[in-house]
Amino acid sequence: MPNIFGKVVDVVMEDASAIGGLVIQGLLVVVFWRSRHPGWKALMAGFVAAHLVTYIIRSVFFRNRPKKRGHTNTIERLDASSFPSLHAARTGASMGLLMLMFDQLVPVFGGLIVLVAVSRISLKHHDIWDVLSGLFLGGLIAWGASTVFPVGRTLRSIIGG
């Protein structure tokens, strides 16, 4: 008898992982831009910065994924590297910015961050350090983007500075 529970978990983890994926994150930026929400610039900056910084780090520091991927060129090599997790960096940046914009929904956005992080580890795309470093990077990017393009509340106002 096949392990149905394991297959269901894998499907749920794949779907959860998509929250931090290119399509969902890109659509998030487009929706904010089209609705003329003032936070769209910060989300766009976070999206672009997460990619740039992650690819720069990966080009200097290659680390195999838990499930190793072969590569024959530079693009494939960047994709085959696990450190830091780009899904986690994008999610940390976007959800961090959304937390500043919509503070009533912090538990929802925090839950999505945890869901993406767990999915990346569960699917063996990353280990915990790849994901934590991606989330840390995403948090720094959210802070930087919200400093350049104010989105409402600031980190300083939240921590009481």
Residue pLDDT, tens place only, 130-146: 999 999 999 999 999 99
Whole-structure pTM value: 0.85
Q: Which helix (H) or strand (E) holds 47?
A: helix 40-60
- Number of other residues whose CB lies within 10 A of the CB of residue 7: 10
72 band by pLDDT with thresholds 50, 70 and 90: confident
**CA 116/CA 16 separation, integer angstroms:** 6
User: Is the pLDDT score of 90 beyond 80?
Assistant: yes
Q: Which two tokens stand for residue 23?
A: 């399509």
**CA 94/CA 116 separation, integer angstroms:** 12
Contact indicator for 57, 78 with CB cutoff of 8 Å: no
* C-alpha 155: how far from chain center: 19
- From 34-38, 73-77, 112-116, 141-145, the region with the lowest mean pLDDT: 73-77
- From 49-63, 69-83, 123-137, the region with the lowest mean pLDDT: 69-83
Model pLDDT, residue 91? 95
Model pLDDT, residue 142? 95
User: Is the pLDDT score of 157 beyond 80?
Assistant: no
Model pLDDT, residue 1? 44
The full set of domain ranges for the chain reads 4-151
User: Is the pLDDT score of 87 beyond 50?
Assistant: yes
- 88-101 mean pLDDT: 94
Model pLDDT, residue 156? 53
Model pLDDT, residue 79? 82
**CA 155/CA 45 separation, integer angstroms:** 17
**CA 131/CA 139 separation, integer angstroms:** 12
Model pLDDT, residue 150? 87
- Within a 13 Å sphere around the CA of 47, how many CA atoms are in the beta-carbon half? 20
In angstroms, the first-to-last Cα distance of the chain is 59
Q: Considering only CA atoms, which of 3, 11, 21 is closest in space to residue 89?
A: 21
Average pLDDT, the chain: 88
